[in-house]
Structure formats: C-alpha cells, structure tokens
Structure 1
Amino acid sequence: MLFLVAALLLFGAVLGTVAHAPFTFTAVAATVIAAWLGIFALRERHSRRHASSR
C-alpha cells in the first residue's frame, strides 16, 4: 500500500513537470517508459510460463 501511495505522489509530480516540459522531451520520456513497461511485461510473461511448467 505504501508503494502505491509513493507511486501516485511521484506520478503527480511527473505530470506537473510534464506540463512545463517541451513536447519533444515529453515524447521521448513517454517512449522510454513505454518500452520499459513492455520489456517488463514480456519478462514477467516469460518467467510465468517457465515457472508454471515445472
């Protein structure tokens, strides 16, 4: 629960910052975050498939 609260506070700070950042910076940051989340999702999916077959 504490992690969720910290994540929401960070999210609010980032959104406030993005409102003042240039669009190119915002687009690059969004792309990096999307790639990171995609890689994380693929790694989790891969590890769950191998863990369930044991």
Structure 2
Amino acid sequence: MIFLVAALLVMGLLLGSVVHVPVQTALIAAACIGGWLLVFAARERRARHHRS
C-alpha cells in the first residue's frame, strides 16, 4: 500500500498537477492521503478479525 502511494506521488510530481503547487503542499497532501489510507486499512483489518 505504501509503495502504491509513493508511486502515485512520484507519477504526480512528474506528470500531474502536483508540479504546479509548492513541494511542501504536495508533501502535506501526500501525508494526509497516506494517513487516511492507514486508518482505512486498520479499520478494515479490525473488521475482518471481528467477523471471524
């Protein structure tokens, strides 16, 4: 999952609209998205173990 986020950030830096914003803004956005993905993964894992 972290590899996917890193790959998308690098692709965005090279190809996307992330190039048009300051680096700090892009890093903050990437950190927010990464945190959201971590929370989502933790909730899904807890739900899966709870159902078993």
TM-score (norm 2): 0.69
Identity %: 44
Aligned residues: 39
Unmatched tracts of structure 1, length 5 or more: 1-10
Which of 1 and 2 has greater Rg? 1
Runs of 4+ in 1 over 6 A off after TM superposition: none
Aligned alpha-carbon RMSD (Å) = 1.2
**How far does residue 19 in structure 1 lie from its aligned partner after superposition?**
1.4
Unmatched tracts of structure 2, length 5 or more: 1-7
RCO higher in structure (CA 8 A, sep ≥6) = 2
